[in-house]
Structure 1
Amino acid sequence: MDTLENLRNKIQGAKDLKSVTRAMKALAGSKIVQYETAVRSLDDYYQTIALGIIAYFEAEHIKGIVDPNEHQPKSVETVCAIVFGSDQGLVAQFNDEMASFVSASLKEVPGKKEFWVVGDRVQLLLSDQGFNTSKLYPVPSDINAVTPLVTEILKQSRENQQKQEISTFFIFHNQPKSDSGYTPVMQRFLPLDSTWKNTLQQIQWPTKLHPQIAGASEPTLVALINGYLFATLFKACVESLASENASRLDAMQRAEKNIADLLDDLHKKYHCLRQSSIDEELFDVVSGFEALIEDSP
């Protein structure tokens, strides 16, 4: 049975937990702002890079791109999944939904599977589903740590493609919704073949004038491709970080509400128990007073 001292300790513990929840809620909210700002900036940059590549195709009259692995048997292909998750907890079903989405999406993709995972927690969930991770990267702690991670993944992917160890790369990450929440998405990252070209050319050229390339064409294409790959991977990472903090913010808001309800319940119990204790003391005083009156001559 709860005592007044026990209830006081519970109330103080709930207040301390509420303070921690508020601090984590404020931290998640502040991080979301910088990640969402980066996403909006990347949208414009990505659009510019994509239009530049489209302009190159138009100016050089490129109709198709030959894939060197096109005639390779599908059974011997190696497909790499670059999966973005989280290292920290208190993100609800953020990692669980991503792991389930990766598993369901790759069932339709033929070939051997290789996993490059960003985040310990999603890596453990993928391991539980029978997927082995060949490369594990830490989740960036802030926006400044994204560039080194993206640079390293780009370097590793280029080396594997040059050695023809991996034929296709896919990116899996959570993407923030326009209103609230997030949704898991999958996009084809490499190779840059005819499928990629056709997907890219769905973006409409903004004017009726035919584009022209200023300067040497080959260095221009190399710069555009490098910018495109970097922007694609950077955007996926930042959107994942924004989704992670949005999930943490939602979890902290629910926790704060539950703690507030718990505090209300504890305060009611405390006041009821304290009132009962006061009533008992008053009854003892009255009973003693009446006993003294009866015993007096």
Structure 2
Amino acid sequence: MSDTSASLRRKIDSAGNLQSVVRTMKALAASSIGQYEQSVRALGDYYHTVELGLGVCFRDADSSGLMTGETKQTNKGVIEAVVFGSDQGLVGQFNDLVADYAVKTLATLTAKANVWAVGERVQARLADVGLPLLGLFTVPNSVTAISSLVGQILVESKTHRDQGEVSELYLFYNRPASGAVYTPVSQRLLPLDATWRRELAELHWPLENLPEIIGDKTETLRALIREYLFVSLFRACAESLASENASRLAAMQRADKNIDELLEGLNRTFHQLRQSGIDEELFDVISGFEALSTN
């Protein structure tokens, strides 16, 4: 009995230690989800301000003369796509889902697609299906690191646009849904959609006095478009990271539940074995007493 009991005790101790690690990872994942979701909410007011500014530019009577490389429809026939993935473990099908969605979506477009991957794992998945890869960006590990990534993407994208190599810019990422569920989505950033521009031009201005553009109208439009691109990329990255941590949290919750069930079974077996040993010892005592009484 002692050897078996010791073995069970070691298993119970190991399962308990593992559960402590899992619960710590659960807490870290939940905390990370909170900071990324908070950053997305914080962008809301600023994004609306940028939309109002763009609406003023597009509402201007001379807006047709303000068209830039970011707003014009071109026929270069080259698409640039940014696919946000994860380089961390315990995220399930996170990279596969967003990569498969990007492949299927890009396949429906007639233009050639070149892809930037955010994360080595999603890059490998995209390379396996034969998509042309422009390069790799490192996945941010905090909210403060997102701005640096967005800056790198904007610089690379602008370089290719200035060289006339790109006509459209797409984003692919996982967006959080209810609970621990996430959904792969896409967004075309450039050129700016005509319907979207028209809707912005019709936005209600919150004050009675209508605004006017002071200074160079083209430069004002370009500055607002840069802010729109920055906010859109930042939000896509933050939502991707929130989805990644939601997936990890769900995995940790399942692991915690499984460990609970394992511990319950081990403890039940341990107590049954212990009770059986006690019963055997009592039986031996009673048998010995009866033997002595008979003699």
Same structural fold, with TM-score higher than 0.5 when normalized by the shorter chain: yes
Corresponding residue for residue 20 of structure 1 = 21
Relative to structure 1, is the Cα distance of residues 71 and 185 closer, same or farther in structure 2, using a 3 angstrom cutoff? closer
Shift of 1:66: 7.8
* 2:130 counterpart of 1:130: yes
Relative to structure 1, is the Cα distance of residues 267 and 206 closer, same or farther in structure 2, using a 3 angstrom cutoff? same
Counterpart Cα distance in 1 of 2:265 and 2:198: 60
Shift of 1:190: 2.2
1:184-234, Cα deviation, whole Å (9 max, x unpaired)? 110112234xxx232233244114875421333233222211111111111
Counterpart Cα distance in 1 of 2:249 and 2:6: 33
Which ranges in structure 1 are unaligned for 5 or more consecutive residues? none
Counterpart Cα distance in 1 of 2:78 and 2:60: 34
* Alpha carbons 1:50, 1:200 under 8 Å: kept: no
Relative to structure 1, is the Cα distance of residues 86 and 292 closer, same or farther in structure 2, using a 3 angstrom cutoff? same
Q: 1:169-248 counterparts in 2 under 5 A?
A: 169-177=169-177, 181-192=181-192, 196-203=193-200, 204-207=202-205, 211-248=211-248
Letter in 2 for 1:139: V
Relative to structure 1, is the Cα distance of residues 150 and 287 closer, same or farther in structure 2, using a 3 angstrom cutoff? same
SS in 2 for 1:87: coil
Q: Which range moved further: 283-292 or 95-104? A: 283-292
* 2:152 counterpart of 1:155: no
SS in 1 for 2:145: helix
Relative to structure 1, is the Cα distance of residues 71 and 269 closer, same or farther in structure 2, using a 3 angstrom cutoff? same
Corresponding residue for residue 142 of structure 1 = 142
* 2:262 counterpart of 1:262: yes
SS in 2 for 1:89: coil
Shift of 1:183: 1.4
Counterpart Cα distance in 1 of 2:190 and 2:56: 20
Shift of 1:180: 5.4
TM-score, normalised on structure 2?
0.88
Relative to structure 1, is the Cα distance of residues 14 and 159 closer, same or farther in structure 2, using a 3 angstrom cutoff? same
TM-score, normalised on structure 1?
0.87
Q: Which range moved further: 256-265 or 215-224? A: 215-224
SS in 2 for 1:135: strand
Q: Which range moved further: 87-96 or 279-288? A: 279-288
* Alpha carbons 2:68, 2:222 under 8 Å: kept: no
* 2:252 counterpart of 1:252: yes
Relative to structure 1, is the Cα distance of residues 179 and 19 closer, same or farther in structure 2, using a 3 angstrom cutoff? closer
Shift of 1:103: 1.9
Corresponding residue for residue 283 of structure 1 = 283
Relative to structure 1, is the Cα distance of residues 58 and 132 closer, same or farther in structure 2, using a 3 angstrom cutoff? closer
Counterpart Cα distance in 2 of 1:109 and 1:280: 76
* Alpha carbons 1:114, 1:133 under 8 Å: kept: yes
Corresponding residue for residue 82 of structure 1 = 82
How many residues were matched structurally? 288
Corresponding residue for residue 273 of structure 2 = 273
SS in 2 for 1:91: coil
CA RMSD for the aligned pairs? Answer: 2.5
Shift of 1:108: 0.4
Corresponding residue for residue 51 of structure 1 = 52
Relative to structure 1, is the Cα distance of residues 177 and 116 closer, same or farther in structure 2, using a 3 angstrom cutoff? same
- Determine what percentage of the aligned residue pairs are the same residue: 48
1:257-295, Cα deviation, whole Å (9 max, x unpaired)? 12111111111111111112222233333334444555x
Counterpart Cα distance in 1 of 2:255 and 2:58: 53
Corresponding residue for residue 165 of structure 2 = 165
Q: 1:66-81 counterparts in 2 under 5 A?
A: 70-72=74-76, 77-81=77-81
Which ranges in structure 2 are unaligned for 5 or more consecutive residues? none
Counterpart Cα distance in 1 of 2:40 and 2:85: 17
* Alpha carbons 1:11, 1:267 under 8 Å: kept: yes
Letter in 1 for 2:62: H
Counterpart Cα distance in 2 of 1:212 and 1:191: 25
* Alpha carbons 1:59, 1:211 under 8 Å: kept: no
* Alpha carbons 1:58, 1:210 under 8 Å: kept: no
SS in 2 for 1:243: helix
Relative to structure 1, is the Cα distance of residues 132 and 66 closer, same or farther in structure 2, using a 3 angstrom cutoff? closer
Counterpart Cα distance in 2 of 1:218 and 1:113: 29
* 2:29 counterpart of 1:33: no
